[in-house]
Amino acid sequence: MTKEKILPTIGFIVAAYIWTNVAYRKGKILEIEYFSMWIGYMLKRSIDALFIHIRSNQQDTNLFMFFMEWTYLWSFSSNISNEIYTPEFIRPDNWIIILGILIFSVGLICNTYVHLQLRSFKKANNGVKLIPTGFLFEYVSCPHYFFELLTWLGFYIASQTMYSLMFLMTALLITTTWGKSKHMNYIKQFNGEKDKPKYPNRKIIIPFIY
84 and 101 fall within a common domain = no
pLDDT mean across residues, the chain: 87
pLDDT in tens, 113-161: 999 998 888 776 665 678 899 999 999 999 999 999 999 999 999 999 9
**CA–CA gap between residue 187 and residue 44 (Å, rounded):** 30
Q: How far apart are CA 150 and CA 171, in angstroms?
A: 10
Closest CA to 49 of 7, 88, 14: 7
CA gap 155, 160 in Å, rounded: 8
- 46/118 same-domain check: no
- Asked if 113 and 166 sit in the same domain, the reply is yes
- Provide, rounded to the nearest whole percent, the portion of the chain with pLDDT above 90: 52
What local confidence, expressed as pLDDT, does residue 57 receive?
A: 46
Query: Whole-angstrom Cα distance, residue 64 to residue 52?
Result: 21
- Read off the pTM: 0.88
Which among 144, 140, 120 is positioned nearest to 130, based on CA atoms? 120
- CA-nearest of 127, 200, 182, 163 to 38 is 163
Domain assignment of residue 94, given as a range = 90-210
For residue 1, pLDDT over 50 is answered with no
* 7 φ/ψ sector (left φ>0, alpha ψ -120 to 50, else beta): alpha
Question: How far is the CA of 146 from the CAs of 17, 142, 198, in angstroms?
Answer: 28, 7, 23
How many domains are contained in the chain? Answer: 2
27 with 65, same domain? yes
When pLDDT is cut at 50, 70 and 90, the band that residue 58 belongs to is very low
Residue 54 has pLDDT above 50, yes or no: yes
Euclidean distance between CA atoms 121 and 13, whole angstroms: 31
Regarding whether 94 and 5 lie in a shared domain, the answer is no
Q: What is the DSSP string of 101-151?
A: HHHHHHHHHHHHHHHHHHHHHHHHTTT------SGGGGTBS-HHHHHHHHH
Residues 6 or more apart whose CB falls under 8 angstroms from that of 49 comprise 4, 7, 8, 11, 60
> Which of 89, 115, 149 is at the close of a domain?
89
Same domain, 70 and 100: no
DSSP at 126: T
Domain identity same for 75 and 99:
no
Res. 9 pLDDT band, cuts 50 70 90: confident
